[in-house]
Amino acid sequence: MSTRGLFHNGDYLKLLTGQTVSSLGSAMSGFVFTLLGLAITGSPVQAGLVGTAASLGSLLAALPGGALADRWSRRKILIGYSFLGTALFGSVAVAGWLDHLTLPHLMTVALVNGAGYSLFMPAETAALRQIVAPEDISTALATAHGRQNVAALTGAPLGGLLYSIGRVIPIAADAVSYLVMAIMLTTIRHPLPATKPEGGKHEPMLKAIRTGLAWLFQHRDLRTIAVVATLLNFAANGTILVLILSMQQRGVHAPVIGLLETAMGIGGLAGAFAAPRLLARYSTGRITLAGSWIITVAFAATAATTRTAVLIVLPAFAVFLLPALNSGLFGYQMLITPDGLQGRAQSAFMFMSNGAAPLAPFLGGVFLGTLGARTALLIFGGLLAVGSVLLTFSRSIRTIPLLSEVEAA
């Protein structure tokens, strides 16, 4: 598990470069979109509809996107989505400069881009498996985590700075970042074709989606991971929301509260650097158990204190093993999944594991308002503990080996 093979893989470097630039642009526009909605409407509730539209588009297109990624050329999907992003965010920048930007325009862009991303992600996963050698998969996935954490750390501050100069400048920058990604993707030499089904004919869409879900549920380890991930994602998102809102209620200054996200970004980035070595030394099963319990203990411990410094450090500690955990599990899934099912397996897994996440902000607010911060944090901590116990008692999870020992399908 070294970066040597990846650094000599030209197509992987082109994919990484394009995604890194685009991730930074998306982090900027994601931060600014809500601000634009608020500036247009003056209503926080209406401004929140922009994020809702993006989540809705992503959710509705998740399962169909995976099926399409298994029947369309992965290369054309990646390039097509990149040009789509250029057009979508470019339209927002132009409308803003002409002073014709409206909330329906922002919501439409967010909805379409969210749907497009649900097609892009499974196609990108399948393409990565075709471009990268099996022994380098975990390192490539850990690098992706590092890229995302760097974008999260720098995107919001940079987007805020550009927004102060001109409201649509960050959006224009994101449009350019999509164009850069499109150019990089067009230079990839791998053809990345669609898979050829047995008999030469693809299944109807609904049947293809059912096939992907059925394949996932037939594998006890993947089924367990997907179910537990639903619980863990929901509880972790709820915990972060309660921490942010409760600190705000206690009068903690906004820049200090922002350090919570910064600290988590730093913890995730440090974990991304450590992930390749951890995955080379410890089995994916052991990393999964250790990571889930560290997350559980660290997040549950936030209920025991109101000290701001401790509440900032604990989540950063919690997410340190997350890059290794996610890289190991996604790498394992990629390796055991046949090429013709890569898109559907990825989309089915993501659909299930994130299915309850949209409820976390709402229920987090309800728990905080009716029960108080400590009880709300204990409830979410208890849910995290339930998930970790399920993983601990699952033999199929405990016995997942080193990724280097997994035979690729």
pLDDT averaged over every residue in the chain: 88
Residue with tokens 């089915």: 348
Give me the numbers of helices (H) and strands (E) for the chain, helices first please.
17, 0
Residue 253 has pLDDT above 60, yes or no: yes
Closest-CA residue to 379 (of 247, 370, 227, 318): 370
More confident residue, 195 or 329: 329
As a whole number of angstroms, the distance between CA 225 and CA 178 comes to 33
Pair of tokens at residue 99: 């002073």
Q: What would the mean pLDDT of 13-41 be, rounded to a whole number? A: 87
Q: Provide the pLDDT for residue 45.
A: 67
Residue with tokens 């350019």: 176
Given 3-state DSSP classes, what are the helix, strand and coil percentages for the chain, each rounded to the nearest 5? 85, 0, 15
Contact indicator for 131, 124 with CB cutoff of 8 Å: no
Note the CATH architecture for domain 1-187: Up-down Bundle (1.20)
As a whole number of angstroms, the distance between CA 222 and CA 322 comes to 17
Residue 361 has pLDDT above 70, yes or no: yes
Provide the 10 A C-beta neighbour count for residue 51: 17
Residues in the chain, overall count: 409
Domain range annotation of the chain: 1-187, 204-409
Q: Provide the pLDDT for residue 4.
A: 57
As a whole number of angstroms, the distance between CA 12 and CA 124 comes to 11
Q: Provide the pLDDT for residue 380.
A: 94
pLDDT tens across 365-386, in order? 888 888 999 999 999 999 999 9
Q: Provide the pLDDT for residue 1.
A: 43
Same fold flag, 1-187 and 204-409: yes
Q: Does domain 204-409 fall into CATH 1.20.1250.20?
A: yes
